[in-house]
Amino acid sequence: MEQSITPTKKRTPKWLLAIFPLLILILLIALFGLLNPLAFFSDAFPPLEELSVQRITFPQEGQIELQLINGGPDPVTIAQVLVDDAYWQFTIDPDNTLSRLERATIHLSYPWVYDEPLAFRLITATGITFDAEVDVAVLAPQTGAPTFIAYGLLGIYVGVIPVALGMLWYPFMRRVDRKWINVLLALTVGLLLFLLVDTLLEALEISAVLPGAFQGVPLVAFGVLFSFGILMAISQRRGHGSPMAIATFIALGIGLHNLGEGLAIGAAFATGAAALGSFLVIGFTLHNITEGVAIAAPLTTQDERPKISAFIFLAFLAGAPAMLGTWIGGFAFNPLLAVLFLSFGAGAILQVTWEVSRFLLRDAQRQGTTVVSWLNFAGLTAGILIMYLTAILVKF
């Protein structure tokens, strides 16, 4: 008796199943571009124009440069430029018509005066106007070794040195009673909470000048979530119970914050907004000393004293990014980069706030005390107040 053999059905390859929807999508997009069903709407309504002035600089006496970007869906043609309500001749590079997300630079020969404000109005070919202004006209920093060194030293003054000074309180904090250690950790949480809010507000403020296509507010939100998730994954993999690990995460978060802070400082000095000069640097120094205290506080809970090299590493991790920030802000400020750095910094600060809070909770449980005490609450409030009062000195 012969046995019949049923042929096996050949299955469709997985890779084909995966790319089949993509092929259909590509086909639909091609047909959409070929048939152009939106032509009726584009012909029936005026173009949507959006133009953003990213930066205004004064490269030399009698010269002004405006850096633009077209953030709208339609091309924009710059027809006229007004300076203090006077029409002025200009040149534009590469072209006076900007396509979507294209950048251009307007060059003006204008007899500007030091320390005086200027107002600009750009008129497009369709008659739509876009305004921009500078509070103080100052000569832009010239690219060269002296200026590069000066901005680097500025980053050291406002970043590395204040953090290192704050960490000098480590010997004192190590000798206080155990209950005061928790107060110091609560103080650290207060400092970090203020930094978190301050960094978020700075990121949202700069995102407001971004072209709409970049979606500034969602960019900030997802930047925060991205850095928070990355650091949480790293901490879970390497363990987050070590005081040194927590101090390192705090220094990393503060470093990202100082990177954005350095961007703001460099751009402010380059555009003349930081008219307070040395007073601004002194204010940032006082403000950032508290960051060193926040880094050193978790180290007081371990039995062995860290080596000097560990303190040097933490000081540079937290403070050195301010140097990079001042260079970028002074010579090539970019609002998009500033928003990304600040949002990443906010996410890092959120993560270390979570870690310090958990560390404080675990330590209180080991001691058989409550984490919510009047002393801890006073420490939390003191941290916020210290940061708030010192921040008054650096707002310009």
Residue 173 lies in a domain: yes
Sign of the dihedral through C-alpha 178, 181, 183, 185: negative
Number of neighbours of residue 170 by Cβ within 10 angstroms: 19
**Of the residues 104, 134, 164, which one is the last residue of a structural domain?**
134
- CA 127 vs CA 45, 46, 77: distances in Å: 15, 11, 10
The CA-to-CA distance between both ends of the chain, in Å, stands at: 97
pLDDT band at 81 (very low <50, low <70, confident <90, very high): very high
* Peptide bond between residue 94 and the one before it cis (omega within 30 degrees of 0): yes
Residue 3 lies in a domain: no
Reduced to 3 states (helix: H, G, I; strand: E, B; else coil), residue 240 is: coil
Q: Is the pLDDT of residue 276 over 50?
A: no
Per residue in 224-237, pLDDT tens? 998 888 878 776 76
Is 209 found in the same domain as 81?
A: no
Per residue in 10-58, pLDDT tens? 677 778 888 888 888 888 888 877 877 666 655 555 667 888 888 888 8
Reduced to 3 states (helix: H, G, I; strand: E, B; else coil), residue 210 is: coil
Residues in the chain: 396
CB 191 within 8 A of CB 162: no
Is 99 found in the same domain as 226?
A: no
Is 150 found in the same domain as 130?
A: no
Which tokens hold the place of 309? Answer: 């090299």
| CA 390/CA 286 separation, integer angstroms | 6
pLDDT band at 289 (very low <50, low <70, confident <90, very high): confident
Residue 33 lies in a domain: no
**Of the residues 72, 99, 134, which one is the last residue of a structural domain?**
134
Q: Among 52-66, 208-222, 349-363, which is the least confidently predicted range? A: 349-363
pLDDT at 274: 56
pLDDT at 56: 87
The pLDDT of 175-186, averaged and rounded, is 76
Is 128 found in the same domain as 167?
A: no
Residue 332 lies in a domain: yes
Q: What is the radius of gyration, based on Cα positions, of the chain?
A: 27
Domain housing 93 = 51-134
CB 286 within 8 A of CB 115: no
Residue 96 lies in a domain: yes
Total H helices, total E strands in the chain = 13, 9
Q: Among 65-69, 104-108, 152-156, which is the least confidently predicted range? A: 152-156
Mark 322-332 as b/e (b = at least 16 C-beta within 10 Å).
Answer: bbbbbbbbbbe
Is 183 found in the same domain as 91?
A: no
- What's the chain's average pLDDT? 80
Beta bridge partners of 123: 80, 129
Residue with tokens 């980069």: 337
| CA 170/CA 307 separation, integer angstroms | 12
Is 150 found in the same domain as 64?
A: no
Considering 90-104, 135-149, 174-188, 272-286, the range whose residues carry the highest mean pLDDT is 90-104
Is 332 found in the same domain as 257?
A: yes
- Top pLDDT among 277 and 106 is at 106
| CA 145/CA 289 separation, integer angstroms | 29
Is 149 found in the same domain as 127?
A: no
| CA 101/CA 83 separation, integer angstroms | 25
Q: Say what percent of the chain tops pLDDT 90.
A: 10
Residue 92: CATH number of its domain: 2.60.40
Name the helix (H) or strand (E) containing 197.
helix 178-207
Q: Per the structure, how many domains does the chain have? A: 2
Residue 201 lies in a domain: yes
What type of residue is 39? A
- CA 55 vs CA 106, 178, 381, 394: distances in Å: 11, 52, 39, 22
- CA 257 vs CA 72, 321, 346: distances in Å: 31, 9, 7
Per residue in 320-372, pLDDT tens? 888 888 888 777 777 888 888 888 888 888 887 887 787 777 777 777 777 77
Considering 65-69, 71-75, 205-209, the range whose residues carry the highest mean pLDDT is 65-69
Residue with tokens 């003054």: 157
Is the pTM of the predicted complex or chain greater than 0.85?
A: no
Q: Among 48-57, 104-113, 151-160, 285-294, which is the least confidently predicted range? A: 285-294
| CA 135/CA 149 separation, integer angstroms | 26
Residue 38 lies in a domain: no
Is 195 found in the same domain as 270?
A: yes
Q: Is the pLDDT of residue 78 over 70?
A: yes
The pLDDT of 252-274, averaged and rounded, is 75
Is 162 found in the same domain as 125?
A: no
**Of the residues 103, 134, 165, which one is the last residue of a structural domain?**
134
Nearest-CA neighbor of 90 among 72, 66, 70? 66
Per residue in 290-311, pLDDT tens? 778 878 878 887 777 888 888 9
Q: Is the pLDDT of residue 240 over 60?
A: no
Is 155 found in the same domain as 70?
A: no
Residue 26 lies in a domain: no
Is 336 found in the same domain as 272?
A: yes
Q: Is the pLDDT of residue 381 over 50?
A: yes
